[in-house]
């Protein structure tokens, strides 16, 4: 049986990159807040048959926030999901090209998320949309989508630069 860590990306450098502390801190904080408000909501609902109004609204936002931060962290540490069945059977040059194509496609997708997310947040701001639960402006939640898409793009570019430096 093989160790999955050893059979990771064929283009993965020998030394694993250190994860950015800010990404870890932000992701862990978002997860902790989700846990605290969800547990508090369960306790209050059990004791009083009343639910906190803000928990769903904040939990959904924090879950999206945590997912985007996790995506950035995965690219920063080269732990993003990959299917290596075909890539492992390629030569070194083809592996490198496949890795770079994968990173380019990722940048393209998150560039679209950044662009359309920014348009979406701007529309919400312009039309003064408010959330159904608390009545907060919805753009304060959605503005984070293009910001964090930009962070993911930055981490992917950093990964591409590391690939270039690690060239055999």
Residues 82, 102: contact at Cβ < 8 Å?
Answer: yes
pLDDT by 10s per residue, the chain, length 168:
333 444 445 555 456 677 789 999 999 999 999 999 999 989 998 999 888 778 888 999 999 999 999 999 999 988 888 878 888 899 989 988 898 999 999 999 999 999 999 999 999 999 999 988 888 999 999 999 999 999 999 999 999 998 887 765
How is the chain split into domains, by residue range? 21-165
d(CA 156, CA 162): 10
CA quadruple 34, 80, 162, 102: dihedral sign? negative
d(CA 156, CA 82): 14
pTM of the full structure? 0.81
Question: For residue 54, what pLDDT is reported?
Answer: 80
Question: For residue 11, what pLDDT is reported?
Answer: 52
Question: For residue 4, what pLDDT is reported?
Answer: 40
Distances (CA, A) of 7 to 100, 128, 155: 19, 51, 23
Residues 125, 117: contact at Cβ < 8 Å?
Answer: no
Question: For residue 52, what pLDDT is reported?
Answer: 79
Question: For residue 26, what pLDDT is reported?
Answer: 95
Closest CA to 11 of 117, 74, 90, 122: 90
d(CA 39, CA 23): 24
């Amino acid at each position: 049986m093989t160790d999955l860590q050893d059979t990771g990306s064929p283009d993965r450098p020998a030394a694993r990159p250190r994860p950015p502390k800010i990404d870890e801190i932000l992701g862990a904080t978002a997860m902790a807040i989700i846990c605290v408000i969800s547990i508090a909501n369960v306790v209050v609902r059990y004791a009083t048959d009343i639910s906190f109004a803000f928990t769903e609204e904040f939990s959904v936002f924090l879950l999206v926030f945590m997912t985007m931060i996790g995506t950035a962290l995965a690219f920063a540490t080269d732990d993003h999901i990959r299917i290596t069945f075909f890539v492992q059977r390629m030569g070194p040059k083809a592996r490198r090209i496949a890795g770079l194509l994968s990173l380019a496609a990722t940048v393209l997708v998150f560039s679209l998320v950044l662009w359309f997310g920014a348009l979406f947040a701007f529309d919400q701001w312009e039309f003064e949309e408010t959330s159904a639960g608390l009545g907060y402006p919805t753009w304060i939640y959605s503005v984070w989508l293009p910001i964090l898409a930009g962070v993911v793009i930055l981490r992917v570019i950093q990964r591409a630069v590391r690939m270039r430096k690690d060239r055999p």
